[in-house]
Amino acid sequence: MTCPYLDYRDADGEQEFDHDRPYCQIQESFVSPMEADLCNDRHDFDHEADCAVFQRHHLDADQLVPGLELQDAD
Ligand code: SF4
């Protein structure tokens, strides 16, 4: 499964490219073709398990869940 935050864009502001480039919507920046292998879960990569950006984003989201009692973990 492809990461839901992966996008492909053919321009960066005013600069247009001759082909679409992989773009991470969390980092708000383009990623390298090698990183895009991870984003696309190619070569046994798993974006949920292997991408620190994805993991950090969801950790932050969990901490912002209303009513979540982090002290109750014990
Ligand atoms: S860098 Fe990580 S969070 Fe961003 S699109 Fe790729 S897998 Fe998803």
Q: Which atom of ligand 1 is nearest to the CA of 27?
A: 4
Which of 37, 60, 63 lies closest to 50 in space, CA to CA? 37
Question: Per-residue pLDDT averaged across 44-51, rounded?
Answer: 93
Mean pLDDT along residues 46-51: 93
> What range defines the domain where residue 27 resides?
6-65
pLDDT tens-digit map of 3-35: 999 999 999 989 999 999 999 999 999 999 999
Task: Please state the domain count of the chain.
Answer: 1
* Beta strands 6-12; 29-30: pairing state: unpaired
The verdict on residue 71 lying in a domain is no
Residue 71 pLDDT > 90, yes or no? no
Rg (CA), the chain: 16
27-36: per-residue pLDDT in tens?
A: 999 999 999 9
Give the residues surrounding ligand 1 with Cβ less than 6 Å away.
3, 5-6, 24, 26-27, 31, 35, 38-39, 47, 51, 53-54
In a domain, 32, yes or no: yes
